[in-house]
Amino acid sequence: MRYRIKENIGNPEKLEQLYHEDKKLFVSGFEEVFPEIEGYELARFWKIRLDAENIRESFWKVNLSEILIVLAACLTAGFLIKMPDIFNIRMTNIIFYERNAAIIVFLGLTIYSAWINRTSNWKKIVLILISFVIPAIYINLLPSSVVGSSAVRLAYIHLPLLMWCIYGMVFIDFDLKDKIKRLDFIRYNGDLLILSGLIAIAGGILTAVTIGLFEALEINIEEFYMKNIVIVGVVSVPVVATYIIKNYPAITNKIAPLIAAIFSPLVLISAVVYLAALLISEKDLFNNREFLLIFNIMLIGVMAVIVFSVSETSRNSRQKFSEMILFLLSIVTVAIDLIALSAIFYRLGSYGISPNRLAVLGSNVLILINLVLILLDLYKVNFRDLSLMKVGLTISKYLPVYIIWIFIVIFGFPLIFGI
């Protein structure tokens, strides 16, 4: 169908005929070929028409079984997050959430994604169960981070990343060789972050209004509402957002690229101004531990913006301005990482090796290598006509390196440095 659409892009009557012959095949074929024909006015017209019809039809098509799975995933996550209260577990809520919140949130997402992928292979099901049970047992056997070692705290901090990786494997249906699926997972995370933020804002407004209305009746429901409704809602938001992304792609596909196009230049300006301010400030990056921590958090944030922007921008046609912004942003981020690494090496030489310093060093080295690879690809995109999709594939190929490091920090550091 895609070839017939391409051949008849100047013939509106023939396109209409093809559409009525097989609407579903026409829509899928048009989506595939659109990047090649978007310069035609008729192609843009069909794009608007099909997107509008997709939104209208999607709102009226409700899959009851899918709704039940979404509810089951949300209720499962909600039940698990309330376990300390339900079973009177002798553990403070903060410690329980620190250990288990990531496992619970990603379990809900995994249940839904496994249903989407129609995962029925018993080997995959067993692998999923093991992937959640082992981290859950391990992390709860470690001592509390309040009294534990730095290695244990690092395990707690890296656990959400491990669960994200496990969920990613379920999302791509364990097809680890397919780089495109990995890139789709990265794109999905950008959509998920944006949509979850919008849902959280709406939920915050609803919470404030509800509590306010009951207070007007002199009924105080704030404690009950926060401990029961809000906490369950928080762990359910990612599942609901994933449902919307899956069923209403015409909406989410427009928001994320727009956010990426807006924020990339702003982050570039902020990073450049920050580096300039750093040069004239009196802050001692090498001896100030807290300042170095904030500096590394900023580095990770900028790196995330680059990855998100590359994955979202590669969806659309070539945008020279956006591609140049990403190239410049990657240069600035490499400079930030080099400054951070110099401070880390200085602290290692002055104060010796510790779990925290080694973890930060390893993370920064891995990020630097990834940034250099991205920078080289973005240079080719801007000056040698390389497709931006290749940059996204470079990012997806590098993901296993991060997974290996996360495993080392979570399971290796407590053994090496003690708990």
Express each pLDDT in 361-412 by its tens digit.
999 999 999 999 999 999 998 998 888 878 888 888 999 999 999 999 999 9
For residues 276-300, one letter each, b for 16 or more C-beta atoms within 10 angstroms of the residue's C-beta and e for the rest, the string is: eeeeeeeeebeeeeebbeebbebbe
pLDDT at 128: 95
Q: Do 114 and 172 belong together in one domain?
A: yes
Select the highest-mean-pLDDT range: 88-92, 228-232, 413-417. 228-232
Q: What percent of the chain has pLDDT over 70?
A: 90
Q: Do 42 and 94 belong together in one domain?
A: no
- Bigger pLDDT: 147 vs 211: 211
Express each pLDDT in 131-189 by its tens digit.
999 999 999 988 875 455 788 889 999 999 999 999 999 999 998 888 888 888 988 89
Number of domains in the chain: 3
Confidence of residue 10 (pLDDT cuts 50, 70, 90): confident
- Statement: residue 328 has pLDDT above 70: yes
Distance from C-alpha of 265 to C-alpha of 415, rounded to nearest angstrom: 43
Q: Do 201 and 82 belong together in one domain?
A: yes
Task: Tell me the average pLDDT of the chain.
Answer: 85
Per-residue pLDDT, averaged over 179-206, amounts to: 89
Q: Do 388 and 406 belong together in one domain?
A: yes
Domain boundary among 29, 60, 91: 60
pLDDT at 336: 87
- Statement: residue 39 has pLDDT above 60: yes
Confidence of residue 54 (pLDDT cuts 50, 70, 90): low
Comparing CA positions, the residue from 307, 326, 300 lying closest to residue 378 is 326
Per-residue pLDDT, averaged over 31-55, amounts to: 75
Express each pLDDT in 266-279 by its tens digit.
888 988 888 888 77
Q: Do 243 and 343 belong together in one domain?
A: no
Q: Do 346 and 271 belong together in one domain?
A: yes
Express each pLDDT in 331-359 by its tens digit.
999 998 898 899 889 888 888 888 988 99
Express each pLDDT in 66-75 by its tens digit.
899 999 999 9
Q: Do 127 and 143 belong together in one domain?
A: yes
User: pTM, whole model, 2 decimals?
Assistant: 0.80
pLDDT at 46: 81
- Statement: residue 316 has pLDDT above 70: no
Q: Do 116 and 200 belong together in one domain?
A: yes
pLDDT at 373: 94
- Statement: residue 284 has pLDDT above 80: no
Confidence of residue 415 (pLDDT cuts 50, 70, 90): confident
Confidence of residue 23 (pLDDT cuts 50, 70, 90): confident
Neighbouring CB atoms inside 10 A of 339's CB total 17
Domain boundary among 190, 217, 247: 247
Quote the domain boundaries for residue 406: 255-417
* Ranges 149-163, 285-299, 304-318: which has the least confidence: 304-318
Q: Do 10 and 141 belong together in one domain?
A: no
pLDDT at 86: 83
Q: Do 121 and 143 belong together in one domain?
A: yes
Domain boundary among 185, 217, 247: 247
Q: Do 15 and 120 belong together in one domain?
A: no
- Statement: residue 200 has pLDDT above 70: yes
Distance from C-alpha of 385 to C-alpha of 378, rounded to nearest angstrom: 10
pLDDT at 145: 53
Q: Do 35 and 153 belong together in one domain?
A: no
